[in-house]
């Protein structure tokens, strides 16, 4: 595999794990706020990110590429509200979408057909990732006034997310 493509794939493994680390930090915030349903939703998201990283890890190994793991930075730990967390989640997913699209463009530009085919799954997955974050954010924005009852109901709803 082209060296530059290898490097960007290795970067992306780190980015996926860093996404999981950010969501784990958000889960910790929710746990501290006694919002266990929100925390559960984030913990499922952590597993999804790990799965994304592992798909790339396995793909590189299948291609005979040496996986080089990188340092994962400390994620943000303090948040001001539930709404802020989902705004940040959506913004983060948009950033990841842009990274995946760039990786795809690179694979196309150097005619690495297996990499392009492999990345199709991620392109579709990012639509789902952005949709999930948007749906929850839009629901949160509908909560007016004190809103604690609505927040508790949403917490119960998010507790049902399957892994
Ligand atoms: Fe791995 Fe949330 O994208």
Tens of pLDDT, residue by residue over 45-58, are 999 999 999 999 99
Query: pLDDT tens across 73-94, in order?
Result: 999 999 999 999 999 999 999 9
Residue 102 is assigned to a structural domain of this protein: yes
Q: Is residue 127 classed as helix, strand or coil in its secondary structure?
A: helix
Which atom in ligand 1 lies closest to the alpha carbon of residue 53? Answer: 1
C-alpha dist (Å) from residue 80 to 83, 86, 88, 126, 140:
8, 11, 11, 26, 14
CATH of the domain at 48: 1.20.1260.10
Q: Is residue 73 classed as helix, strand or coil in its secondary structure?
A: coil
Please give the distance, rounded to the nearest whole angstrom, from the Cα atom of residue 145 to the centre of ligand 1: 32
Residue 27 is assigned to a structural domain of this protein: yes
Give the structural domain span for 7: 3-69+80-158
Please give the distance, rounded to the nearest whole angstrom, from the Cα atom of residue 56 to the centre of ligand 1: 12
Report d(CA 58, CA 65) in Å as an integer.
10
Q: Which of 71, 62, 129, 141 is nearest to 95 (CA)?
A: 129
Question: Residues lining ligand 1, CB < 6 A?
Answer: 16, 19, 49, 52, 93, 96, 129
Q: Which pTM value belongs to this model?
A: 0.96
Count of domains observed in the chain: 1
């Amino acid at each position: 595999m082209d060296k530059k493509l290898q490097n960007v794939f290795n970067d992306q493994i780190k980015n996926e794990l860093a996404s999981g680390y950010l969501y784990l930090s958000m889960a910790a915030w929710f746990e501290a706020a006694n919002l266990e349903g929100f925390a559960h939703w984030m913990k499922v998201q952590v597993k999804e990110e790990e799965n994304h990283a592992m798909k790339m890890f396995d793909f590189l190994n299948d291609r005979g590429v040496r996986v080089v793991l990188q340092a994962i930075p400390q994620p943000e730990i303090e948040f001001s509200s539930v709404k802020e967390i989902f705004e940040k989640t959506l913004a983060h997913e948009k950033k990841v979408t842009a990274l995946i699209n760039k990786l795809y463009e690179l694979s196309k530009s150097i005619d690495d057909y297996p990499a392009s085919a492999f990345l199709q799954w991620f392109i579709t997955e990012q639509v789902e990732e952005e949709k999930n974050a948007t749906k929850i954010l839009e629901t949160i924005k509908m909560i007016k006034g004190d809103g604690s009852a609505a927040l508790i109901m949403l917490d119960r709803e998010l507790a049902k997310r399957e892994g």
